[in-house]
Structure 1
Amino acid sequence: MSIKAKIDEFLALPNDSTKKTVGVALALCLVCAVAVSTTAVALKPIQDVNKTLNRKQNIIDIGQLAPPGTPIDEAFKNVEAKVVDLQTGEYVNDIDPEKFDARAAAIDPKQNVVLTREQDIASIKRRAKYATVYLVKENDQLKKVILPVSGYGLWSTLYGFLALEGDLNTVVGLGFYEQAETAGLGGEVDNPMWKAKWPGKTLYDEQGNLVIQVTKTVAPADDPRSKHQVDALSGATLTSNGVNNLLHFWLGKDGFGPYLQKLRNGGGA
């Protein structure tokens, strides 16, 4: 029997026929699936562009690279993106920083490092072997470095950026572009008032020890310890601990520690 004959036979079935009902439903599902897939493929380039622009805008805002309203391309003109080997601190020149996806690499056994319990203070389980860093230069002088950071809070993994002055010690800003913490509690990591507490804080003491801390008991302003301390989020102890832990992980030897040390020694900028 020809295809046309089969279609005619199917259409001739009564409308309350189970066979016809199932057939129409399957046909509708197929048409919808094709439509959704086609739309997803067609929109992917636009989604990729928007994702890139959103990342750049977050870097601009957290790094305080330009006044609000400045066009992204103009604000980003002095920013140089580079991929870093986290183990050695060396740049990886054969990977395009615009195309490298650290989150995808973190779940790829060929591109990740599985962390031990002792290493994994940020509760991320594994990290990519490489990471993209952003250097801001003026007249070939390093002015700022923006580092991607992530770590688990109470309910979610927080993804953001930490921006440092060229001294690699003074915080320019810390912000998270993706998180799912409790609104009004841990979600206050997005509150401008809390983010405003970070600029000017310093990461290391005079002996070079990493001492930055999110704490419920901040020392008085005239106490030297206060410059290394940020008020914890009210009612959000676990999220605050998560922020503290992720900073200590990414600034430590299993994160950007080797890279930052190279920069301090005059290499890599």
Structure 2
Amino acid sequence: MKERLFSVLYMFVLALVFTSVVGAVNWVSRERIRLNQEIALQRIVLSVLDLLPPEAISKKEMQAIFRRRIRSLPFGDRTVYVAVAPEGDRVEGYAFPVSGPGFWGPIYGMVAVDAQVQKILGIAFYRHSETPGLGGRITEAWFREQFRGKPLHVPSPGRRFFYLKPAGTATGPDEVDAITGATETSRRLEAFLDQELKRIIPLLRQQRPTGNV
């Protein structure tokens, strides 16, 4: 009887120890994942706002720039990141998340505009399920750089902010070269990006957040 009781208690203690260890590891990993995601988001925001120095910097240096230059504010159904001057006396731009359906799954991105909300400062697509080497090329610098400096003219009825044209044919201020062989990704990106811009750009122009500058 005692031996059986000892065996039960032993297994109970052993299970409790292992459960505690697994729980602790899970908590540490979850916190580490959260911090890594936070750092990745900060880097994306600084990148589209063109606030990262050209030389490589450490995570701590990058986080210091973010704390000094960025104010995170709720704005409608999303967060807007307000970029302020080094002196903190004026707004230099805004960054905001965008998302929509791609060909294989949702695409998540970040768009930055100037303080007057008149042109694109930068754009990034940082999470997606598009085909590597085809639709997945939306993350490549050559594709993203096409948007930099593009004017944000209010489209006339039935028009879009931007059109993705067959590679090598984009010439207008509202046109960018699409990715060869990724017709569906390009078509869906064009549609949801336009939808998102038509939601947020008018709001930013009407009530620009200042971040308490």
* TM-score over 0.5 (shorter chain): yes
- Residue by residue over 1:33-83, the C-alpha shift from the partner in whole angstroms, topping out at 9 and shown as x without a partner, is 554332111333332222211110111112211213242134322111100
- Structure 2 residue aligned with 1:55, among 13, 31, 41? 41
TM-score (norm 1): 0.64
- Superposed, 1:9-48 pairs within 5 Å as 34-48=20-34
Is 1:182 the equivalent of 2:147? no
Distance 1:183 1:135 in 2: 33
Query: Which ranges of structure 2 fall in alignment gaps of 5 or more residues?
Result: none
Tell me, yes or no, if the aligned pair for 2:102 and 2:189 is still in contact at 8 Å.
yes
3-state DSSP of counterpart to 2:173? helix
Q: Is the 8 A contact 1:214 1:232 kept in 2?
A: yes
Task: Report what 2:75 is aligned to.
Answer: 84
Structure 1 equivalent of residue 190 of structure 2: 244
Partner of 1:202: 151
Check if 1:229 corresponds to 2:170.
no
Code of the residue aligned with 2:203 in structure 1: it is Y
1:131 and 2:78 correspond: yes
Quick check: 1:73 aligned with 2:69?
A: no
Larger radius of gyration: 1
What SS class does the counterpart of residue 177 from structure 1 fall into?
A: strand
Structure with higher helix content? 2
Deviates more, 1:238-247 or 1:63-72: 63-72
Query: C-alpha distance in 2, partners of 1:260/1:219?
Result: 31
Aligned residue number for residue 4 of structure 2: 5
The answer to whether the 8 Å contact 2:107/2:125 transfers is: yes
Residue number in structure 1 paired with 2:141: 192
- Offset from partner CA, 1:103-137 (integer Å, 9 cap, x none): xxxxxxxxxxxxxxxxxxxxxxxxxxx21101112
Secondary structure in structure 1 of the residue aligned to 2:63: helix
| Alpha-carbon contact 1:218-1:229 (below 8 Å) kept | no
Distance 1:153 1:220 in 2: 21
Instruction: Tell me: CA distance 1:6–1:200, structure 2 relative to 1, closer, same or farther (3 Å).
Output: same
C-alpha distance in 1, partners of 2:188/2:16? Answer: 45
**Structure-2-length-normalised TM-score:** 0.79
Q: How many residues align?
A: 202
**Contact 1:203 1:210 survives alignment (8 Å):** no
Contact kept, 8 Å, 1:204 with 1:212, in 2: the verdict is: no
Contact 2:118 2:152 in 1 (8 A): yes
Is it true that 1:163 corresponds to 2:126 in the alignment? no
How far is the alpha carbon of 1:157 from its aligned partner? 0.8
C-alpha distance after superposition, 1:216-235 (max 9, x if no partner): 277664xxxx1111111111
Segments of 5+ residues of structure 1 without an aligned counterpart are: 10-23, 86-129
Percent identical pairs in the alignment equals 24
